[in-house]
Amino acid sequence: MLQRLNEPATLAMARISRELAAKGLDVISLSLGEPDFDTPYFIKEAAKKAIDDNYSHYPPLNGYAEVREAISRKFKRDNGLEYSAEQIVVSTGAKQSIANAILAIINPGDEVIIPAPFWVSYEEQVKMAGGTPIIIPTRVEDNFKLSAEKLESAITKNTRMLIYSSPCNPSGSVYSEEELHRLAAVLTKHKNILVISDEIYELINFSGEHASMAALPGMYENTITINGVSKGFAMTGWRIGYIGAPLWIAKACTKMQGQFTSAPTGIAQMAAKAAVEADPSSVSRMVEAFKRRRNLVLEKLSAIDRIKFNRPEGAFYVFPDVSAYYGCSSGEYTISNSSDLTNYLLATEYVACVNGEAFGDNNCIRLAYATSEDKILEAVTRIHRALDKLR
């Protein structure tokens, strides 16, 4: 089984970048999806208080009741979703939340529909459960979104699940409520299909609108809503994610978690409680900074003739189509795919980004703009210079 799994390309490129930087090379990393902001002060204070209040013992398997109650209120306030505390499971990051759900539900032979591009771990976690990933390509011209027609055509008698993210990693695309309604119209005809709606980037949304699949008519009982505090509150290292789901799924995920990790640390849970209880406007400064950076990246990319890209409405990624450079060469480097191109950029200009193959679309590469504007400007300048050398 382990031989079927691949190292996450995002983490692999981040590791290589650190190794090169340790050798004194001027590497600019656009590879890792981590906000460059520090965790807000009020959240850190809540963690300090949790230490003083002795949240240092084993927590309940699904998380402290007071934390799950706070998440329940957040779901109602922000998403119009009525999840009781018993329907919520707090985990060691949204990655574990997704893994819990997949491992608890998917059996060998089950098919799982995943629109591409997708977050790197979806496909691997489905494989780990013995399921069969059914990848549906999307196009940059369609803003990398799954259509109802493509969804319908991919469904078979073995289809058990759909997994998608909005805002999307890696494309930054955001599904509108109308677009989700069209997908839901297909899904409600197939009551055996469950949906994992990955909403970890909910707060980093430039369109001003976030829609949750579970809030649509007929979808509540078939949807697992994934969220967490890592991205929106700059809390990646705190490792707190959570689900809201039908009770039977929440219980199954709790059982799964009990055999792997138990609950995350109580100190991090209390920090997350402070985050979800806060008004979302408390992180608007970060969101505005990401929006400025997005605009900066798009402006600079628009000067490069042979690439295509959509206009991301959320997250902090751009996913340009660079396939026009395939078949081109510069010196000892020949570009045949996205991996060749990212290796070329790293070797010649010390810019680290992630190949699109890892996200299910070999025509593209992912650039994360979760870094300073100065570094973004320099990185895209280097990318432009490297691409201009390809003939």
pLDDT in tens, 40-66: 999 999 999 999 999 999 999 999 999
Last residue of a domain, one of 278, 295, 313: 278
Range of weakest confidence among 29-33, 129-133, 345-349, 374-378? 29-33
Could you give the number of structural domains in the chain?
Answer: 2
Q: Are residues 136 and 155 in the same domain?
A: yes
Per-residue confidence (pLDDT) for residue 16, from 0 to 100: 79
Instruction: Indicate whether 98 belongs to any domain.
Output: yes
| CATH code, domain carrying 297 | 3.90.1150.10
Q: Are residues 333 and 383 in the same domain?
A: yes
Q: What percent of the chain lies above the pLDDT cut of 90? A: 92
Q: Are residues 226 and 94 in the same domain?
A: yes
Per-residue confidence (pLDDT) for residue 5, from 0 to 100: 61
pLDDT in tens, 215-263: 999 999 999 999 999 999 999 999 999 999 999 999 999 999 999 999 9
Instruction: Indicate whether 49 belongs to any domain.
Output: no
Residue 96 belongs to what domain range?
A: 55-278
Instruction: Indicate whether 375 belongs to any domain.
Output: yes
Q: Are residues 118 and 233 in the same domain?
A: yes
Q: Are residues 258 and 310 in the same domain?
A: no
Q: Are residues 131 and 239 in the same domain?
A: yes
Per-residue confidence (pLDDT) for residue 150, from 0 to 100: 98
Instruction: Indicate whether 38 belongs to any domain.
Output: no
Instruction: Indicate whether 289 belongs to any domain.
Output: yes
- The mean per-residue pLDDT over the stretch 15-30 comes to 85
Contact 70, 269 (CB under 8 A): no
The CA distance from 391 to 339, in Å, is 18
Per-residue confidence (pLDDT) for residue 15, from 0 to 100: 81
Per-residue confidence (pLDDT) for residue 7, from 0 to 100: 63
- The mean per-residue pLDDT over the stretch 122-140 comes to 97
Its pTM stands at 0.95
The CA distance from 170 to 173, in Å, is 8
Q: Are residues 265 and 293 in the same domain?
A: no
Burial class (CB in 10 A: 0-12, 13-18, 19+), 337: middle
Per-residue confidence (pLDDT) for residue 65, from 0 to 100: 98
Q: Are residues 113 and 246 in the same domain?
A: yes
Residue 2 predicted with pLDDT over 60: no
If you search the block for the tokens 């779901």, which residue do you land on?
75
Per-residue confidence (pLDDT) for residue 4, from 0 to 100: 60
Q: Are residues 258 and 291 in the same domain?
A: no
Instruction: Indicate whether 127 belongs to any domain.
Output: yes
Last residue of a domain, one of 213, 247, 278: 278
Instruction: Indicate whether 354 belongs to any domain.
Output: yes
Residue 123 predicted with pLDDT over 70: yes
Residue 1 predicted with pLDDT over 60: no
Residue 34 predicted with pLDDT over 80: yes
Range of weakest confidence among 206-210, 355-359, 366-370? 206-210
More confident residue, 1 or 83: 83
**What's the whole-number average pLDDT of the chain?**
96
- The mean per-residue pLDDT over the stretch 303-323 comes to 97
Contact 222, 196 (CB under 8 A): no
| CATH code, domain carrying 82 | 3.40.640.10
The band of 9, judged by pLDDT with boundaries at 50, 70 and 90, is confident
The CA distance from 155 to 157, in Å, is 7
Q: Are residues 100 and 138 in the same domain?
A: yes
- 225-257 exposure pattern, b = at least 16 Cβ within 10 A, e = fewer: bbbbbbbbbbbbebbbbbbbbbeebbbbbbebb
Last residue of a domain, one of 222, 256, 278: 278
Q: Are residues 86 and 200 in the same domain?
A: yes
The band of 20, judged by pLDDT with boundaries at 50, 70 and 90, is confident
Non-local (6+) Cβ contacts of 83 within 8 A are 71, 72, 75, 76, 225, 244, 245
Range of weakest confidence among 28-37, 49-58, 183-192? 28-37
The CA distance from 269 to 46, in Å, is 10
Per-residue confidence (pLDDT) for residue 6, from 0 to 100: 63
Q: Are residues 293 and 241 in the same domain?
A: no
pLDDT in tens, 276-285: 999 999 999 9
Instruction: Indicate whether 325 belongs to any domain.
Output: yes
Give me the DSSP letters along 130-160: T-EEEEEE--GGGTT---HHHHHHH--TTEE
Q: What percent of the chain lies above the pLDDT cut of 70? A: 98
